[in-house]
A and B are shown apart, each in its own frame.
Chain A
Amino acid sequence: MLPEWISEQTAARAAPRRRHTGYLSRSLRDMARVVEDAIFCEQSARRAGFLQRLDARVKLFSVLALAVGATFLHHLPSLLALGVFALAMLLVSRVGLGTVFSRSWWVMPAVFALVAVPSVLSVFVPGDPLVALPWGLSITRQGVASAAVLVTRIAAGMMLALMLALTTRWQELLRAAYTGVTAPFVLVATMMYRYVFVLLRVAENMHLARRARTIVPLDAAQERRWVGGRVGALFLRSRRLSEQVYSAMLARGYRGEPKVLVRHAVGARELAWVLGCAVFLAGILVFDRAVLGEMAW
């Protein structure tokens, strides 16, 4: 027998004045989206561009080599050249400027606050003042120069990383990084990568379930409590799920070694790419040392 209240009309409580807390409940869902977009670059990695066609191991190796080379560059123009080179390669490989930006802009404010602003001020870099500020601080020419170099260095590094991340599918990247030494790390990364998919879905479903059960908007405190509770539930759920995901992988024959379908062979394209990278790197290194080294920046 159904309880009698089920056939009665229930009047919803009047909604309390809404404070701006919607962002909290939305945050779970948005978090899922952002993580998905930021971590998984499947779309651009599947496009038929130059970098996408390169063997993942070769690409990984070349990007690492360029990154190491970048640490020897000390001047703005050469760092800029490296960043532009990476960006150009991305554009040539049909990765849009918008994609590149959306994956990198979020680092910039932090870089600016942490690096650029302090180093521009004279407390950190003494030198010829350009603009005087209160409290005896001033912006110095040397400060501006070193901040510019720092920011460019970080931006160039970012572009190099994106060159790899936006054009390589995760599975291939993990396969490329798998060697005797790195095996344990790759194993962990593989599990995390697989697992994020599962978590994303769970988080999204929780958001929907919550929305379906909420009649009256919660007030700020309730909202915070709910999100807190969800994060807790997600954690518990995720522990159990992670065991099951692992079981499911084992049951399908997984034995710890990453295997992927697309394994490019190392051919003429790879050779040309490595050669091109080597020439470019040697070029900017010489340029940085011999030409710019003499000049004061």
Chain B
Amino acid sequence: MTPIFALENASYRYPDGRLGLAETTLEVRERESLVVLGANASGKSTLLGLLGGLIFPSGGRVIAYGTALTEAALQDGEFARSFRQRVGVLLQDTDAMLFNSTVYDEIAFGPLQLDLPEDQVRRRVEDTLDLLGLRSVADQPPHRLSGGEQRKVALGAILAVSPEVLLFDEPTSGLDPRFQRWFVELVIELRQAGKTLVTATHDLHIADVIADRVVVLDEDHKIAAEGRPRDILTDLDLLLSVNLVHEHAHVHDGELHIHPHTHLHEHEHAE
């Protein structure tokens, strides 16, 4: 299968000189669900920014749909247009995602840019509102909603564009267990609908449920491992070395168990 994205020794350095991502080579294949795991500051968001054409590599190349992503390529023209329609990005910072005066407008913003006819835009918005259970707040300004609701609006704003590739940066942060569950189901349905997903997270459980393939970034901002979730998520030494688990994690019957690191209560487990 042809890869949708290919990073060829791509690296990124922020304008202030800090390294965001060290030289990385990676492919994202069509219709796969790739999870990027890494501790805080390992470079997950930087990687997603590169894939989403929001920042451009300082070294190496990022190829998407056979074209190198550069500032010039995404400036204007047919490629820019189709790329933005095909690739949706959920930023980690919800603040930056919500810039409309109402939830309704927020979700309508993307479809409007596609020049869809008005009735189709409206249908997409209403379906999205229903999908996320946001209908009752449709006329509210997004900044008056709770953190979790804001996250949902940001997610809805991307879904309404219906991109082929969805880049999710910490999609479940700030969401209650019920919504996390819902999110997992959404991902399964999106997969059935033929979407390609790249999810950045440090939540091992989410990774376990939604990933076909896992990439682990270490604290030097490079890929420490890549493989099937089964193999990666049971490799305690690896997870320890990249600070995704602490010493109190165990593997039972091929399942990862994480116990809170605390001495307040004695805990026992049957081996």
Chain A residue nearest to B84 (CB atoms) is A253
Chain A residues lying within 8 Å of B112, measured Cβ to Cβ, are 259-261
Number of residues of chain B lying within 8 A (CB) of chain A: 41
Q: How far is the CA of A260 from the CA of B102 in the complex (A)?
A: 13
A42 interface hit (Cβ, 8 Å): yes
- CB-CB contacts below 8 Å: A232-254 with B: 241, 244-245, 247-254
Q: Which chain A residues in 167-191 approach chain B with CB under 8 Å?
A: 169-171
The answer to whether B47 has its CB under 8 Å from any CB of chain A is no
**A251 near B121 (CB under 8 angstroms)?**
no
A186 → chain B closest CB, angstroms = 16
- The contact of A261 among B87, B97, B105, by CB within 8 Å, is B105
Does chain A have a CB within 8 A of B122? yes
Instruction: State whether the Cβ of A61 lies closer than 8 Å to any Cβ in chain B.
Output: no
Q: How far apart sit A196 and B165, CA to CA, in the bound complex (Å)?
A: 30
Query: Are the CB atoms of B122 and A261 closer together than 8 Å?
Result: yes
B158 touches A252 (CB 8 A): yes
Task: Scan residues 182-220 of chain A and give those whose CB is less than 8 A from a CB of chain B.
Answer: 194-195, 197-198, 200-202, 204
Give the chain A neighbours of B142 by CB distance below 8 A.
197
The chain B residue with its CB closest to the CB of A252 is: B110
Whole-angstrom distance between the alpha carbons of A170 and B102 in the complex?
Answer: 12
**What residues on B are CB-neighbors of A245 within 8 Å?**
96, 99
Contact with A along B82-110 (1 / 0, CB 8 A): 00110111010101111111100100111
User: Are B101 and A170 in contact, CB atoms less than 8 angstroms apart?
Assistant: yes
Contact among B74, B76, B105 with A171 in the assembled complex (CB-CB below 8 Å): B105
Compute how far the CA of A45 lies from the CA of B173 in the bound complex, rounded to whole angstroms.
35
Which of B85, B98, B110 interacts with A197 by CB under 8 Å? B98
Given contacts A197-B141, A261-B118, contact A255 B81 (CB under 8 A): yes
Which residue of A is nearest B114, CB measured?
Answer: A253
CA gap between A198 and B91 in the complex, in Å: 14
A40 at the interface (CB under 8 A from B): yes
B161 located at the interface, meaning its Cβ lies under 8 Å from any Cβ of chain A in the complex: yes
Q: Which residues in window 49-84 of B have CB below 8 A to A?
A: 49, 52-54, 74, 76, 80-81, 84
Q: Which residues of B contact A (CB under 8 A)?
A: 49, 52-54, 74, 76, 80-81, 84-85, 87-89, 91, 93, 95-102, 105, 108-110, 112-115, 118, 121-122, 139, 141-143, 157-158, 161
The 9 A-B pairs with the shortest beta carbon distances in the complex, nearest first, are A253-B113, A244-B96, A194-B99, A201-B143, A252-B110, A259-B112, A247-B54, A251-B89, A253-B84
